[in-house]
C-alpha cells in the first residue's frame, strides 16, 4: 500500500502586498536623490535660493517630482512598517507614527515652497522680485518645516527602536533606520553636506527595504 503525498502548497504573495512592500524603500530613496541634487542646499537666504534655482532649473524640476513621489509613498510605507513591529513594541510604534505621519505629511507644504521657487524662475522674475515672493510665504510654511524636522527625525528613531525591540528584522537593519535621520540632521544643520545627506536617506531606504522583505514573507502583515 502506498501513501500519496500531497504536494506542498506554495504561498503566493498578493499583488497588493507586493505594492505595499515596494512603497517602503521608494519614498526615502526618492528623498535621498532629492537632497543630493537640491540646487539651494547651502543657500543662506531667499536671494541665494532664487539664484541657485535660476542657475539649475532642471534640478529644481526634478526636486519637485521627487518630493511628490515622497508625499505619495512615505506615509503608506510607515503604516506598512508599523504592522511589522506593532505587536512587539506597541508604544514605541504608536509614538513613531504619531510623530512621523504629520512630519511626512508636512512635505506637502514644503513642496509648495519649492514650486514657488521654480515658478518665479520660470516666469523670469528678477532675483529681487522672486525673493520678495518667497519671503512673503504664508507662516504655515515655517510651521510645516518645524513639524517635518521634529516629526520625521525623532519618529524615524523611534521606528527603528520599535523594529529592534520587535525582533522581526536583523539588528543591523533596525540600527540603520534609527541612526539614519539623526545623520540627516547633522548633514543638513552642521556639515552642510548633500553627499552625507544622500547617504543618510539611503540608509533609511536600505533599512526599510529589509522591512519590506519581512512584509513579503510574514503572514501577520497581510
d(CA 21, CA 186): 29
Domains in the chain, number: 1
Q: What is the pTM of this model?
A: 0.89
Question: What residues contact 104, with CB distance under 8 A and at least 6 apart?
Answer: 27, 70, 71, 74, 75, 78, 148, 151, 152
Residue 152 vs residues 55, 63, 90, 218: alpha-carbon distances, Å: 30, 19, 18, 26
Digits of tens for pLDDT over the chain (222 positions)?
Answer: 455 544 444 457 788 788 888 889 999 999 999 999 999 998 889 999 999 999 999 999 999 999 999 999 999 999 999 999 999 999 999 999 999 999 999 999 989 899 999 999 999 999 999 999 999 988 998 999 999 999 999 999 999 999 999 999 999 999 999 999 999 999 999 999 999 999 999 999 999 999 999 998 875 444
With respect to residue 2, please indicate whether it lies within any of the assigned structural domains: no
Q: Give the H or E element holding residue 51.
A: helix 46-55
With respect to residue 145, please indicate whether it lies within any of the assigned structural domains: yes
Q: What is the pLDDT of residue 137?
A: 85
- The CB-based long-range contact list for 38-43 (8 Å cut-off, 24+ gap) reads 38/63, 38/194, 39/63, 40/117, 41/192, 41/194, 41/197, 42/192
Q: Which residue has the cell 506598512?
A: 80
For 124-157, the pLDDT digits (tens) are: 999 999 999 999 988 998 999 999 999 999 999 9
CA angle (193, 196, 199) in 5-degree steps: 150
With respect to residue 7, please indicate whether it lies within any of the assigned structural domains: no
With respect to residue 4, please indicate whether it lies within any of the assigned structural domains: no
Q: What is the pLDDT of residue 220?
A: 46
With respect to residue 190, please indicate whether it lies within any of the assigned structural domains: yes
Q: Show the domain range for 135.
A: 15-221
DSSP 221: G
With respect to residue 1, please indicate whether it lies within any of the assigned structural domains: no
With respect to residue 10, please indicate whether it lies within any of the assigned structural domains: no
d(CA 29, CA 72): 13
d(CA 179, CA 158): 10
Q: What is the pLDDT of residue 13?
A: 77
Amino acid at each position: 500500500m502506498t501513501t500519496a503525498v500531497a504536494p506542498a502548497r506554495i504561498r503566493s504573495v498578493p499583488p497588493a502586498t507586493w505594492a505595499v512592500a515596494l512603497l517602503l524603500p521608494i519614498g526615502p530613496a526618492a528623498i535621498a536623490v532629492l537632497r543630493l541634487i537640491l540646487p539651494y542646499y547651502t543657500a543662506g537666504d531667499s536671494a541665494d535660493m532664487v539664484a541657485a534655482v535660476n542657475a539649475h532649473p532642471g534640478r529644481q524640476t526634478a526636486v519637485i517630482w521627487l518630493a511628490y513621489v515622497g508625499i505619495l509613498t512615505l506615509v503608506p510605507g510607515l503604516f506598512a512598517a508599523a504592522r511589522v513591529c506593532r505587536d512587539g513594541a506597541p508604544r514605541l510604534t504608536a509614538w513613531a507614527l504619531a510623530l512621523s505621519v504629520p512630519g511626512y505629511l508636512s512635505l506637502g507644504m514644503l513642496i509648495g515652497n519649492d514650486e514657488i521657487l521654480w515658478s518665479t524662475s520660470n516666469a523670469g522674475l528678477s532675483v529681487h522680485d522672486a525673493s520678495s515672493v518667497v519671503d512673503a510665504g504664508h507662516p504655515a510654511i515655517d510651521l510645516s518645516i518645524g513639524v517635518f524636522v521634529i516629526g520625521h527625525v525623532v519618529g524615524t528613531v523611534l521606528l527603528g527602536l520599535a523594529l529592534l525591540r520587535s525582533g522581526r528584522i536583523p539588528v543591523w537593519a533596525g540600527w540603520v533606520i534609527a541612526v539614519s535621520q539623526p545623520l540627516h540632521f547633522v548633514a543638513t544643520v552642521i556639515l552642510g553636506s548633500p553627499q552625507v545627506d544622500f547617504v543618510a536617506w539611503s540608509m533609511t531606504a536600505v533599512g526599510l527595504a529589509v522591512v519590506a522583505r519581512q512584509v513579503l514573507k510574514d503572514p501577520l502583515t497581510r
